[in-house]
Amino acid sequence: MLKNLEVLDLSSNEFDGEMGDKIFDLPLLRVLDISDNKISGGVPGGICLNSTGLRVVKLAVNNLTAGLPRELRECRSLEHLCLASNKITGVVPAFLLELPSLKELDLQDNLLNDTSELNETSLFSGVTRLDFSLNRFSGSLPDFFDKFPNLTSFCARSNRFTGGMPKSLVNSRAISVINLRNNSLSGALKFNCSVMVNLTSVDLGTNNFSGFIPSDLSSCHKLRALNLARNKFIGEIPESFKEFKSLSYLSLSNCSFTNLESSLKILQHVPNLTVLVLTMNFRGEMLPVDSILHFKALKALVIANCGLTGNIPLWLNGLTQLQLLDLSWNKLTGSVPSYLGDFKSLFYLDLSNNSLSGEIPKSLTQLPCLSFGNVSLEEGSPDFPFFTRPNMSSRGSALQYNRIMSFPPLIDLSHNFINGSIWREFGNLKQLHVLDLKHNNLSGGIPSELSGMTSIETLDLSYNNLSGRIPSELVRLSFLSRFSVAYNDLSGTIPTGGQFPTFANSSFEGNKELCGPGCGDLSGRFVPKPSSAGSKKSKVTVVGMAVGIGIGSVFILALMFVIILRATMKQEVDPEREDDNDSKEELEPKLVILFQTKEELSLNDLLKSTNSFDQANIIGCGGFGLVFKATLPDGKNVAIKRLSGDTGQVDREFQAEVETLSRAQHPNLVLLQGRDLISWVMEMKKEKRENEVFDPLIFDKENAEEMLWVLEIACVCLNESPKLRPSTQELVSWLHQSAVHR
């Protein structure tokens, strides 16, 4: 019956083991897709022996190993071969590119390390797309592009290629997309634009190219996206750049360019320029104040971390299409211009780490995009990270975004000398996700109207001169995950509702007149409350101070063993811990893991799959943390969100987002599978579900409260932070309080 089968799609399942030969005994098969499984072994050599008409083969995202078999030369009808995201090793054979019907070859994300055979290619190929990215290739790029008259896209990013650009590549008439980002290519940059008439996108970021940018580059008239960031270019931006007619995305960050004023005067003549990133250049120069600069189409302008002096210029007022403005990490003085509030589409404003003074312009509280709706630059964005910003929360490392849509709606005026009060009208910004005003000279009270920022995720007002109380209305901010009012002059009691119980005491420290619920200790330590039960059987739990301590210690250990064993068997609670010092620096104290399968994922698995949460794997960013691309041990590609904040915040994340999704029945939604033990115990107590905490063999309903109290002490003793664990004296005090109550 299957002899007439033409399309076989088994993708996105859990098939494992090696592929047998019988699957290829289908003479009419044209399309085979077994991608996103757990297939192991080598690439099957007999794939085309019986299925001679195969045109499309997709085996991506599996566990295929070894080299590419010579038998693939029999695939005479093959047009599309995708072997991405496996563990294939060795050489890329020349015969593969000589297959007469081949159009697209995707070998990215493997362990291939040899392209030497490709220079021996003798036949002209009809291949239109090659992707060798994310392998282990080294040495010079193969100079074989004259054999590919139809090649439109060549990607080999994130390898170890050295030397210059091959002559045959920079003289290719058909080539449209070149992506060689993150290699070690060097030398002067040369393109024969008179021949490369179809070139539209070039990404050579993060290499070692040096010298001046060639003045004839603008002769590539169709060039739309150009990334030359993180190279060793010097000098000024060529005058000829004003001849670019199609250029829309330009990133020249982190080089050694000079003369910012000249650069802007030239680039203003590029009619379709949408994104301009000039970060980490023009060291110590002055931000031009020339009022005749015009960028009519510009939507994103980034001139950060340049040490620029001067004021924020008036000519920015003419950027009527602006959606993203980043002038952070400079030495700008003067006030924040009120005209910034007139931009209809501005949703991301970062003026942090400057020397700005004066009051916050009230117009910023009236930004239309942050009041009524969102705007993004996602449409048509190029496939390269054209934006890099400092991430001071991670030891000063750079934070790189691949898509501008990842940017949260933000106003960041932190680390300046801004004074005055916080406008109550900020509450009108219902689409704002981040408001950062820390390290300024703001005074007055915190307006209760800030509770109107219903989408806010981060609110930082720390290190100012704010006074009065923390408005209880802020408990309505249900998405708030990061909050700090530390080091002000606040007084009164910290609100107890909403997300406030999840915030660490460091969010409130440095306010002498501020106290926790009931004006209690703000040291951040949980103190178990003794049971008030009067049952005679309470003597079973505490019989004298000395006996109580001894028996209690043994009981704690035994009880924790039973609970952890039970939780492990049910696979409900077991956040993996890692003792590696490097891991502790990079990860939060607790990591909660969500997974659809019954397989356990250890923290070590996640570290390996994300290369220790390397910045290069960031694919998105939100108010709750960064999103990393990861390849799990079974070969499956997933997105992992590393939640920011303390343990309490993690609980809040689950309750606010994951629980709702967990109740939905859909194959594309994950279920909540992991949670930390301490919070689980506390939640069970709060909901009076003690019988679900203890194993039935040891649970005594009449003594449930006493047993839970002992368990609470055990949880405190097991806190990962030594500073939050009780001393022996405190344990004695707690047990003594219990004895008194009984």
Q: At what angle do helices 677-686 and 704-717 cross, to 10 degrees?
A: 150
**H-state helical runs in 647-696:** 647-653, 659-663, 677-686
Q: At what angle do helices 704-717 and 728-741 cross, to 10 degrees?
A: 170
Q: Where a domain ends, among 161, 188, 218?
A: 161
Closest CA to 148 of 188, 105, 90: 105
Which residue would you say has higher pLDDT here, 119 or 33?
33
The answer on pLDDT for 203 being more than 90 is: yes
Domain range for 563 is 536-738
The answer on pLDDT for 576 being more than 60 is: no
Q: What is the pLDDT of residue 674?
A: 41
- Evaluate whether residue 184 is within a structural domain: no
Angle at Cα 470 formed by Cα 466 and Cα 476, nearest 5°?
A: 135
Question: What is the SS3 assignment for 415-441?
Answer: CCEEECCCCHHHHHCCCCCEEECCCCC
- Evaluate whether residue 267 is within a structural domain: no
State pTM to two decimals: 0.70
The answer on pLDDT for 180 being more than 80 is: yes
CA dihedral 18, 22, 26, 32 (to 10 degrees): -10
Question: Confidence class of residue 19 from pLDDT cuts 50, 70 and 90?
Answer: confident
Angle at Cα 307 formed by Cα 315 and Cα 416, nearest 5°?
A: 80
Contact 713, 736 (CB under 8 A): no
- Evaluate whether residue 81 is within a structural domain: yes
Question: What is the rounded CA–CA span in Å between residue 201 and residue 384?
Answer: 10
Which residue would you say has higher pLDDT here, 695 or 329?
329
Q: Which of 233-237, 402-406, 415-419, 606-610 has the lowest mean pLDDT?
A: 402-406
Question: Confidence class of residue 49 from pLDDT cuts 50, 70 and 90?
Answer: confident
Which residue would you say has higher pLDDT here, 149 or 640?
149
Instruction: Show the beta-strand stretches assigned E in 361-519.
Output: 387-391, 397-401, 410-412, 417-419, 434-436, 443-444, 458-460, 465-468, 482-484, 489-493, 513-515
Which residue would you say has higher pLDDT here, 133 or 378?
133
Question: What is the rounded CA–CA span in Å between residue 343 and residue 689?
Answer: 53
Q: Where a domain ends, among 161, 176, 210?
A: 161
Question: Strand, coil or helix: what is 362?
Answer: helix
Q: What is the pLDDT of residue 655?
A: 46
- Evaluate whether residue 705 is within a structural domain: yes
Contact 627, 621 (CB under 8 A): yes
Q: Which of 29-43, 67-81, 206-220, 531-545 has the lowest mean pLDDT?
A: 531-545
pLDDT digits (tens, 9 = 90+) for 294-303: 898 999 999 9
- Evaluate whether residue 678 is within a structural domain: yes
Which residues touch 444 (CB under 8 Å, ≥6 apart)?
Answer: 420, 421, 422, 466, 467, 468
Q: Exposed e or buried b for every residue in 465-487, given b needs 16+ CB within 10 A?
A: ebeebbbbbbbbbebbbbbbbbb
- Evaluate whether residue 730 is within a structural domain: yes
Cβ-in-10-Å burial (0-12, 13-18, 19+) of 686 comes to exposed
Contact 401, 385 (CB under 8 A): yes
Q: What is the pLDDT of residue 403?
A: 53
Question: Confidence class of residue 140 from pLDDT cuts 50, 70 and 90?
Answer: very high
Q: What is the pLDDT of residue 605?
A: 67
**What number of helices (H) and strands (E) belong to the chain?**
11, 40
- Evaluate whether residue 354 is within a structural domain: no
Residue 667 has what DSSP assignment? T
Region 283-311: what's the mean pLDDT?
Answer: 91
Kindly tell me the sign of the dihedral angle through the C-alpha atoms of 384, 387, 393, 396.
positive
pLDDT digits (tens, 9 = 90+) for 466-489: 999 999 999 999 999 999 999 999
Integer CA distances (angstroms), 184 to 124, 157, 205, 317, in order: 29, 10, 10, 40
Region 534-540: what's the mean pLDDT?
Answer: 39
Q: How many domains does the chain have?
A: 2
Region 556-575: what's the mean pLDDT?
Answer: 38
Q: Exposed e or buried b for every residue in 488-509, given b needs 16+ CB within 10 A?
A: bebeeebbeebbbebbbeebbb
pLDDT digits (tens, 9 = 90+) for 237-278: 999 999 999 999 999 999 999 999 999 999 999 999 999 999
pLDDT digits (tens, 9 = 90+) for 347-382: 999 999 999 999 999 999 999 999 986 555 444 555
Question: Confidence class of residue 553 from pLDDT cuts 50, 70 and 90?
Answer: very low
- What's the chain's average pLDDT? 78
Region 324-349: what's the mean pLDDT?
Answer: 95
Residue percentage of the chain with pLDDT more than 70: 66
Helix or strand (DSSP H, E) at 235: strand 232-235
The CATH number covering residue 656 comes to 3.30.200.20
The answer on pLDDT for 76 being more than 70 is: yes
The answer on pLDDT for 591 being more than 90 is: no
- Evaluate whether residue 625 is within a structural domain: yes
641 is in an annotated binding site: yes
Region 371-394: what's the mean pLDDT?
Answer: 52
Question: Confidence class of residue 515 from pLDDT cuts 50, 70 and 90?
Answer: confident
Question: Strand, coil or helix: what is 130?
Answer: strand
The answer on pLDDT for 453 being more than 60 is: yes
The answer on pLDDT for 532 being more than 90 is: no
Q: What is the largest CA-CA distance in the chain?
A: 96
Region 101-127: what's the mean pLDDT?
Answer: 89
The CATH number covering residue 134 comes to 3.80.10.10
Q: Where a domain ends, among 106, 129, 161?
A: 161
